[in-house]
Amino acid sequence: MSVPGIGFPGPWRLRSGAEEYELRVMRAVTALDERECVPAEHITWQLDHWLTSARRPLLEMYEALGGILPWNASSLDRARQDARVRDRLVQALERRELVALRVQRRAAAWAWPEPALPPPRPEPEVLPLARPPVEVFTLFPDPARQAEALRQAAAAGVPFCEECEKQKQRAAA
């Protein structure tokens, strides 16, 4: 246990079924609307359950309210100690030294937030062309059209290779 007066000052979150409550020491709360507070009777009947399932936060609340827990308590003294802690917390809830607020439950481990979608890519700007489009040549032209072009060049007597024609003219000269 912690040293009295130095323990965890809260707030403490405790769950009861589908509800989750936040308990605070009233001196630590600045401005609080009475409508936000859960009635003390609603919390006191759950203290027995919390003493078995969430004992540590209740002991911290007891110390924060000025209670002193014995360091050398045996397991036989636990029932009397729990009764003393429960009575003091009931008294604190009735006197409004301790207040309970209903809060939203935290997201469970399986409830992941929605993934952020990347912003849409901007569309490229289409610039108007000042001149007519140029015919695009492919790397591998159609072989049938290429064969037809070579036949027509041979029939017309046009040389197939420009470099070969220049070498023929040099050799003839």
Give domain status of residue 159, yes or no.
yes
Does one domain contain both 167 and 90? no
Domain boundary among 83, 103, 123: 103
Which helix H or strand E contains 165, and what residues bound it?
A: helix 162-172
Cα gap 136→122, rounded to integer Å: 27
Does one domain contain both 27 and 80? yes
Query: Which pLDDT tens digit goes with each residue over 9-67?
Result: 778 888 887 788 888 887 655 666 666 788 888 888 888 888 888 888 888 888 888 88
Residue 163 makes CB contacts below 8 A (sequence gap 6+) with none
Give domain status of residue 22, yes or no.
yes
Cα gap 96→93, rounded to integer Å: 5
What pLDDT, on a 0 to 100 scale, did the predictor assign at position 70?
80
Give domain status of residue 123, yes or no.
no
Query: Which pLDDT tens digit goes with each residue over 72-127?
Result: 878 888 888 888 989 999 998 888 888 888 887 766 666 666 777 777 887 877 77
Give domain status of residue 132, yes or no.
no
Does one domain contain both 97 and 28? yes
Give domain status of residue 135, yes or no.
no
Does one domain contain both 16 and 97? yes
Q: Please state the pTM of the whole predicted model.
A: 0.54
**For residue 46, what are the domain limits?**
12-103
Does one domain contain both 75 and 16? yes
| 8 A C-beta contact, residue 23 and residue 99 | yes
Does one domain contain both 163 and 87? no
Does one domain contain both 97 and 17? yes
Structural domains in the chain (count): 2
Query: Mind giving me the DSSP string for 61-103?
Result: HHHHTT----TT--TTSHHHHHHHHHHHHHHHHHTTSEEEEEE
Burial of 90 (0-12, 13-18, 19+ CB in 10 A): middle
Cα gap 80→78, rounded to integer Å: 6
Give domain status of residue 17, yes or no.
yes
Strand partners, 22: 13, 101
What pLDDT, on a 0 to 100 scale, did the predictor assign at position 87?
92
Does one domain contain both 78 and 152? no
Domain boundary among 103, 120, 151: 103
Does one domain contain both 41 and 89? yes
Give domain status of residue 166, yes or no.
yes
Domain boundary among 103, 135, 154: 103
Cα gap 72→78, rounded to integer Å: 11
Question: Sign of dihedral through CA atoms 101, 105, 106, 112?
Answer: negative
Give domain status of residue 81, yes or no.
yes
